Amino acid sequence: MTIELILQNQETGKAYDLSGITESVEWSAQMEEQPGKLVFSVRYAGGEAIASPGTVVRFKAAGRNVFFGYVFKYEKNEAGRIQFTAYDQLRYLKNEDMYVFSGLTADGIFKKVCGDFGIRHRVVHPSGYVVPDKVFSSKTKLSAMIQYGIDQTLIDTGEWHLIRDNFGVLEFLSVNKLKTNLAIGDASLLTGYSFSASIDDAANQIKLGRDNKDTGKRDTYIVKDSGSIGRWGLLQHFEKVNEKMNEAQIVTRAEMLLKSKNKVKKSLKLECLGDFRVFPGVGVVLLLSDLQRDTVYKGYALIEKVTHSFANCKHTMSVDVREW
C-alpha cells in the first residue's frame, strides 16, 4: 500500500515529503473526547530541522485522505531515528473555559464552542432536541461541554451523536446514520480477538432527586428492574435533576437511564486486516461464530476505538467494538 506523508514546518515555511523514509505509521481514534493521534517514525540524516511543535501533518494512504493535524511532540536519538506524535483538531477541545448554555441543542453547543475558538467545523446530522440549560462556572474542557449536550440528548431522546475530525474539519454526526454493510468475523478481515463481560458499571435501580422549594425537601423518583436486581444484587445510580423538570420528564429520564445502564458491558477487541471504512462510531456486522452465546451475531456492533497501522506496505487494524 502506498502512503503519502507531508510535513509543513510552520516556522520555516518549508514542506517535506517523508513518504519514502517513513518506517511505520499508526493512526488511532476513539469515540469520546480524546483526539485522533498519528504516531510515525522516520530515519533522517539531514542537518536541518524538518519539524517543530505545530508543524502541519498530512497523511494519505492508497490515495485516501486519512489524517490532518499538528505535531505536538517529537523525539530523536543518535541513530537519526525521529518519532513524531501529531493530533487532529479534537486536541484543541482540551482547552478550558467557562460557559453558560441556554436554549441550545447539542449541535448548537458544538457550533458555539468551535466558532468561539476558531475550529473548522460542520454539522452533518443536526439534533433537534434542546438540552437543559447548563452553567459551567469553573474551568471545564470544551470537549466535556460538547459531550454534555451529546449525553443529555442520548439519555432524554435515545438519539446518539458524536464528533470526529474528517481531515481537518470537525463533524457533528448521528451514530444511527453511520451503519455500514461491512462484515467483520469469520472469513472477513478478522485475524484474532479477545472478549470480556462485566457489570461493574451497570445499574438496575435509578434514583433521581429534585429539590422542592415549596416543601423545603427533596422529591425522589425511583425506577428499577427487579429481575436483574435478583440476579446481580442492587446496583443504584443516583442523580440530582434540574428543579424545573416536571414529574413526567423526570420519570422519562429515569427510564432512559435504566435502559442504558441495566445491561452487561461486553468488550470485544478485534485484530484485523485494515479497512478505511472502520472509524469510531461506525456500525459493522459482526460474524464471530465462536461468540454466538456471548455477543451479537449477524447483527450490528459499534466501533468504539480503532488503531490503523501501516508498515512494510501492509495495513492492519486493532478495533474495540461493543454491541449496538
Residue 1 has a pLDDT of: 82
> Could you tell me which residues are beta bridge partners of residue 267?
196
Indicate whether 189 and 279 sit together in one domain. Answer: yes
Percent pLDDT > 70 in the chain is 99
CATH number at residue 77: 2.30.300.10
Indicate whether 60 and 111 sit together in one domain. Answer: no
Set of cell numbers at residue 261: 445502564
CB 308 within 8 A of CB 67: no
Q: Mind giving me the DSSP string for 88-125?
A: -GGGGGG-EEEEEE-S-BHHHHHHHHHHHTT--EEESS
Indicate whether 213 and 301 sit together in one domain. Answer: no
Indicate whether 130 and 231 sit together in one domain. Answer: no
CA atoms in the 13 A half-sphere facing the CB of 196: 6
Residue 149 has a pLDDT of: 97
Indicate whether 42 and 123 sit together in one domain. Answer: no
Sheet architecture: strand order including 205-212: 217-224, 205-212, 236-240
Set of cell numbers at residue 117: 475558538
Full domain range(s) for residue 66: 3-87
**Measured distance CA(32)–CA(305) in Å, rounded:** 9
Domain count, the chain: 4
Does residue 113 sit in helix, strand or coil? helix
Specify the residue for cell string 459482526: 286
pLDDT at 187 over 80: yes
CATH number at residue 138: 3.55.50.10
pLDDT tens-digit readout, 253-279: 999 999 999 999 888 999 999 999 999
Indicate whether 182 and 319 sit together in one domain. Answer: yes
Q: At what angle do helices 106-116 and 142-157 cross, to 10 degrees?
A: 170
**Measured distance CA(8)–CA(12) in Å, rounded:** 9
Residue 47 has a pLDDT of: 67
pLDDT tens-digit readout, 301-316: 999 999 999 998 899 9
Of 87, 122, 148, the residue at which a domain comes to its end is: 87
Indicate whether 274 and 302 sit together in one domain. Answer: yes
Nearest Cα neighbor of 111 from 33, 170, 36, 162 is 170
Indicate whether 141 and 168 sit together in one domain. Answer: yes
Please list, in sequence order, all residues whose beta carbon lies within 8 angstroms of the beta carbon of residue 186, skipping any fewer than 6 positions away: 287, 288, 289
pLDDT tens-digit readout, 8-38: 998 888 999 999 999 999 999 999 779 999 9
Indicate whether 194 and 277 sit together in one domain. Answer: yes
Indicate whether 113 and 138 sit together in one domain. Answer: yes
CATH number at residue 297: 2.40.30.150
Please give the average per-residue pLDDT across 98-112, as a whole number: 98
Residue 250 has a pLDDT of: 95
Set of cell numbers at residue 228: 436483574
Of 229, 244, 261, the residue at which a domain comes to its end is: 261
Please give the average per-residue pLDDT across 290-306, as a whole number: 86
Indicate whether 153 and 71 sit together in one domain. Answer: no
Indicate whether 69 and 183 sit together in one domain. Answer: no
pLDDT tens-digit readout, 113-129: 999 999 999 999 999 99
Please give the average per-residue pLDDT across 201-223, as a whole number: 95
Instruction: Locate all alpha helices (DSSP H) within 5-141, ordered by sequence.
Output: 106-116
pLDDT at 79 over 90: no
Of 44, 68, 87, the residue at which a domain comes to its end is: 87
pLDDT at 297 over 90: no
